[in-house]
Amino acid sequence: MSTGGGMGDTHGDSQRQTELVALRSAADVRAYLAAHQRAELHWSPPELRSAQHLLSEECRIAEDRLGGAHRLGIPVVLPEDIEPDEDAVALMRPEQARTLRAVPLLTHAGQVAVAMENPADVTTLHTLEFLSRFHVVPILAAPHAIRDFIAQHYDRVEDAAIARSLGLDPNAATHEATEHEVERLSREVPVVRIVSDFIAEAVRRRASDIHIRPSPYGADLLFRIDDELVPVRRFLRALVPAIVSRVKVLATMNLAEHRRPQDGRCSFGLDDGRSVDLRMSVLPAVFGESVVIRILDTVESLRALDQIGLTPRDAELIDDLMNRSHGMFLTTGPTGCGKSTTLYAMLLEMRKQRINILTVEDPVEFHIEDIQQMQVNRAAGFTFAGALRNFLRHDPDVIMVGEIRDRETADVAVESALTGHLVLSTLHTNTAATTVTRMLELGVESYLLRASLLAVMAQRLVRLNCTHCLDVEDVAPHIREQMGVGPDEEFKAGRGCRHCDGLGVHRREAVYELLEITQAIRQLIVPGAEADSIHQAALKQGMVPITEAAVAMARSGRISLTEAYRVRAD
C-alpha cells in the first residue's frame, strides 16, 4: 500500500532532512490529496515545510514518531483550523474511530485523507480501506488531536442524539435534576447501554481501571491499560449526571448524595457468560463527580506460580517455602506492584495440598475456591490483628494477611509464624533489605524476627514490549549512564500499533529481588540493623537486585531500557 510521497530533495542539507510537510488547513489537505493522486512523490511546497523539532513542540508529537513519518514521506496535520468533511466523517462509525484512533478528513478522486496516531501501522491501514472502500492516504496527527476530532465529530453527535431522546437539552451547560429524575435517567435504556458498553470494552481491552473525569465541557472516559491511562472518548455534559447515577445504581450507592465520597461493589455479567467484579469509587470534584471503577477479572489478574516470571533457582526456593510448616514470607513494593498477585499464585498452588488456608484481606479482591477468605470490617472492630487472633482457633495451616500496617498486626503475624503456621503477607518497602529494618521499626523484637522470617520478595511490575511493533529504542544518555550500560548497546521498544492500543507495550510481568533469610542474614538482624549491610550480604549469597534484573530484561529485548530505568531501586 502506498503511504504518500517523499518530503523533498534527498540531497539537501542536514536541516532540510529534518523538515516535514505540515498541513494547516483543509486546502492544504486537498492539495496533498491531489498531488498524491497525480503521483507527485516529491510534493513538498516550501511554504508548508517545518523543522521536525519545531513541529514536535507545536504538535506535541514525539520526535521518534515524527522521524518515522519523515522516513515514510508522510505529512503532519495541525488540526486547529481543519474542519473534517461530513461525508468523510460518515465513512466510519464512532466505535470504529475510537478503536482505530483515526479520523477521515477529506475525500478526493477515490482517496480519503485519514488523520492517524500511527500511520505506519499497516494493519490499521488495511482495516480503514476495508471500512471506507476508499484508497487511504495516511496523515500523522498528535494523540490529543485525534481525541479532540473524535470528541467533536463522533462523541458529541452521538451523545446529542441520546440526550434529546432522554428529553435533555444537549447544549445546556448545567442541568439541575431532581432525585426522582436522576433515578429515572439512570434506568433509561440508552444510559444503561452506554455504561454496559464501556465496561465490556474495558474488560475486552484488558483495562484494570475505568476513569470518568468531569470537566467544564463534559467528562472524559479513560482506561488504565498496562499501567497507562488511555483516552477513550468524551461524554456530553448533559449526559454525565445520568452516567454517574447509573454507576451509583450498580454499586447500590445513595443517588441523592453528591457532597461526600462513596464506595460500592457489584458483579458485572459479560456476553460470553462469565462475570467480573467491579469496585466503584465516586468523589465530589470541582466540575462534578469523579468516578473510578476497578475491574477485578480473574482471567487477567490471577496467575499461576509459573506465570509470574520466577527464575528456576527462585522457583525452587519458593516451592521449598510453600512446603514449610511454619515461618513468614513477605512480598513488598509500592502500591500496584503485583504483591497480592504473587501471594494469590502461591495460594493457588498450596490449595492442592490437604491443608486449611485462611485469609484476611482489605478488600477481598478474588474469591478462591477451597480457601476461607475474610473481609476486614473496621466499623465492627474486625481488623487484621483481630482476625489473626481468631484465626488461631480455626486450626489453620496457612494464613494470608492482606497487609502488615502496624505494630499490633506485625506482632500477631510473627507470633502466628512461630506457633506452627505459615504466614504470608505484604509490606510497603522499596527493597527486600529495608523490609527487615521496617519490621524492626514497627516494634518487632529482633530475636523474634530472626526466628520467624523465611524470605522477602521485593518487586515491581514492568511493561513488556509489544512484539508486533518492536523497534530500536532511542535512549537518553543520562539513562544509559544511570543504568550502567554502554553507549553502543542497542535496546528495543515498541513504537505502538493496534495490538497494543498504540502504547508500544502489552501486558506486564514482575521484576523482583528475592532475599532468602540464611544463617548469614540472621546474624545481621539485630537491634539497629542496617539495610545496606543486609543487602550486601544478600548479594554475596546470590541475590539479583531489582535494577540488575530489569536491565537484564532490557538486554533481552523484553522491556525497554527506559522501563528498566522507571522501576529501578536505588
The CATH code of the domain that includes 26 is 3.30.300.160
- Classify residue 150 by its DSSP letter: H
Report the interhelical angle of 156-165 vs 189-204 (nearest 10°): 150
Judge if 139 and 192 occupy the same domain.
no
Judge if 221 and 351 occupy the same domain.
no
Tell whether 560 is covered by a domain: no
pTM of the model: 0.80
Judge if 261 and 373 occupy the same domain.
no
Judge if 449 and 533 occupy the same domain.
yes
Q: What is the CATH number of the domain that holds 193?
A: 3.30.450.90
pLDDT for 64? 73
CA distance 150 to 248: 27
Judge if 35 and 102 occupy the same domain.
yes
CA distance 297 to 269: 11
Q: In 10 A of CB 422, how many CB atoms? A: 25
Tell whether 469 is covered by a domain: no
Judge if 130 and 179 occupy the same domain.
no
pLDDT for 10? 40
pLDDT for 157? 85
Query: E strands, 396-440, where?
Result: 398-401, 422-427
Judge if 289 and 307 occupy the same domain.
no
Q: How far is CA 226 from CA 196, 291, 499, in A?
A: 22, 19, 13
Judge if 392 and 530 occupy the same domain.
yes
pLDDT for 12? 41
CA distance 79 to 24: 7
Asked if 243 and 194 count as a contact pair (C-beta separation under 8 A), the reply is yes
Per DSSP, what are the bridge partners of residue 567? none
pLDDT for 490? 95
Tell whether 158 is covered by a domain: no
Sheet holding 357-361, edge to edge: 372-375, 357-361, 398-401, 422-427, 327-332, 453-465, 505-516
Task: Name the domain count of the chain.
Answer: 3
Tell whether 393 is covered by a domain: yes
Q: What is the pLDDT along the chain (570 residues), one digit of tens a residue?
A: 444 444 444 434 444 457 889 998 989 999 999 998 888 877 888 888 888 888 887 777 877 778 888 888 899 998 666 888 889 999 998 888 988 889 999 999 999 999 998 888 888 899 999 998 899 999 999 887 888 888 888 888 889 889 999 988 888 766 666 778 888 899 999 999 999 999 999 999 899 999 999 998 899 999 999 988 988 889 999 999 999 999 999 999 999 899 999 999 999 998 888 889 999 999 999 999 999 999 998 777 788 888 888 999 999 999 999 999 999 999 999 988 989 999 999 999 999 998 999 999 988 888 888 999 999 888 788 888 888 888 888 899 999 999 999 999 999 999 999 999 999 999 999 999 999 999 999 999 999 999 999 999 999 999 999 998 898 998 999 999 999 999 999 999 998 777 787 788 999 999 999 999 999 999 999 999 999 999 999 999 999 999 999 999 999 999 999 999 999 987
pLDDT for 393? 85
Asked if 223 and 210 count as a contact pair (C-beta separation under 8 A), the reply is yes
pLDDT for 278? 95
Judge if 278 and 306 occupy the same domain.
no
Q: Which domain holds residue 344?
A: 302-462+508-547
CA distance 164 to 160: 6
Tell whether 60 is covered by a domain: yes
Tell whether 495 is covered by a domain: no
Judge if 388 and 366 occupy the same domain.
yes
CA distance 25 to 404: 59
Judge if 444 and 532 occupy the same domain.
yes
User: Which amino acid appears at position 288 of this protein?
Assistant: G
pLDDT for 538? 96
Tell whether 468 is covered by a domain: no
- Classify residue 256 by its DSSP letter: T
Judge if 270 and 328 occupy the same domain.
no
CA distance 266 to 445: 42
- Closest to 205 (Cα-Cα) out of 460, 506, 504: 506
Cell of 23: 498541513
Tell whether 216 is covered by a domain: yes
